Structure 1
Amino acid sequence: MVEQERQIDQSRVVVEVWADLGCPWCYVGKHRLEAAISQRSDADRFEIVMRSFQLDPTAPQELEKNEISFVRSHPGSTSDDLRRAEGQMRAIANKEGLTYTIDRWNANTFDLHRVVQYAGDQGRGYAFFSAVQDGFFGGVLNPFDPEALVGVAESVGLDGQRVREILAADEYADRVRADREEAVELGSTGVPFMVFDRRVGAPGAQKVTVYSQLLEQVAGPASSERAS
């Protein structure tokens, strides 16, 4: 039995995903990664681990409209620049079956990442972040409302009261910062940034075929594709 458990552990493949909430390419990239994994007959071998990376640590705590956030964080840009970029991203997302709302609100994501760290300790980090991001880009969730985060947390099996306690304090702050520092040390200059089995890194949102190749590189070929 011990030997069998050891073999199972050795077959497990961890894919670490550094991302931030309002990053459109993170939204698209994580769905492409999921698609690549789901195509494999051994999809259960893979565990996606969520890591924290704030793109704009200086973002205000107060809500601001998407265009204001964009112009503030991209000196020299205009609202028209945002509309063009967002229109292109919406077309890309929609083509892949994803809902994409342009008129979003933004704010500092540090508190969200602190909850992600807690969720990760419970084995639900990726599930929690993914649900929050999908709701955010889908236009059905305000992730800067503490009670909204509590609701998502409970929907993925986390303790809502524990989330309230974390949001009311400063727990996990050091780990959020450490995650970002580690990504930079590994060569990341932005997100999404994915590391496969601690052997190969993939910056940016790659195509599904590229993620499939990387999965095969670190885990070997699957016996056959999953039936659709």
Structure 2
Amino acid sequence: MRVDIWTDIVCPWCYIGQARFDAALAGFEHRDEIEVVQHSYELAPDLSPAETGPVLEMLMAKYGMSREQAEQAEARVSGLAAAEGLPYTSDRPNGNTFDAHRVLHLAAERGLGDELRQALYRANFGGERSVFDADALTEIATGAGLDAAEVRSVLAGDAYGDAVREDERTATQIGVQGVPFFVLDGKYGISGAQETATFTEALTQVWQETHPQPQATAQGQDANA
């Protein structure tokens, strides 16, 4: 069974939703038979790489919030992250993630997609370092196991840009309007950072539908026919 997931590494709901899905998958009986495919999605595709700023100011500008409202919103998300054992700070920048997604595609080709994704989440939401700077991205990717020279080569050019755009086109085609977004078996969609139990129920239901058990012969039914 296949699960496709669209996320952005600066999306707090993706951060929490991915952790909950991972917990559900880890406890799923058939986890070794589930193929998980990650896809790119940019929350701020129109920003230039140079346009970065504090996340609180972004919330204020994008949603018309006061600073107090933005701080309260972040505090609520921080509490949800803490409940999942995830570090979270509001003292972090926000910006365009196109380059980070390009490096994630490189990492996926090298079998290190999950490692880099988690490293980027920790760097961003844990306040460890910016995920919008080429040097920082290279350092994070190298720490996840990628070759530094290869990462620099990707960032210096346009490699994997088409792959990012293709992910985003597919998201548009299937009606994704926000992330995280999960598609199970190519036809069952789950939107948002659902509870771990919800993901477990969905995995179980879809598995049962796609792997029906043969019905046992009724006891004594025409046994000697």
Same fold (TM > 0.5) = yes
Show the counterpart of 1:140. Answer: 128
Shift of 1:50: 1.6
SS at match of 2:111: coil
Q: Which stretch of structure 1 is more off in the superposition, 147-156 or 100-109?
A: 147-156
Q: Which runs of 5+ in 1 are unaligned?
A: 1-12, 222-228
2:54 to 45, 65, 83: 65
Shift of 1:71: 2.5
Task: Give the RMSD, CA atoms, in angstroms.
Answer: 1.9
Show the counterpart of 2:17. Answer: 29
Shift of 1:125: 2.2
Q: Which runs of 5+ in 2 are unaligned?
A: 210-225
Closer/same/farther in 2, CA of residues 127 and 49 from structure 1, 3 Å limit = farther
Report the AA paired with residue 57 of structure 2.
I
1:98 to 86, 90, 101: 86
Show the counterpart of 1:165. Answer: 153
Show the counterpart of 2:110. Answer: 122
Q: Does structure 2 conserve the Cα–Cα contact (< 8 Å) formed by 1:49 and 1:120? A: no
Aligned partners of 1:139 and 1:37: how far apart in 2? Answer: 27
Aligned partners of 1:198 and 1:124: how far apart in 2? Answer: 24
Show the counterpart of 1:43. Answer: 31
Identity of aligned residues (%): 37
1:197 to 178, 185, 200: 185
Shift of 1:134: 2.2
Report the AA paired with residue 12 of structure 2.
P
Shift of 1:67: 1.8
Shift of 1:192: 0.4
Aligned partners of 2:85 and 2:67: how far apart in 1? Answer: 26
Aligned partners of 1:94 and 1:216: how far apart in 2? Answer: 27
Aligned length: 209
Determine which structure has more spread, i.e. the larger CA radius of gyration: 2
TM-score, L = length of structure 1: 0.84
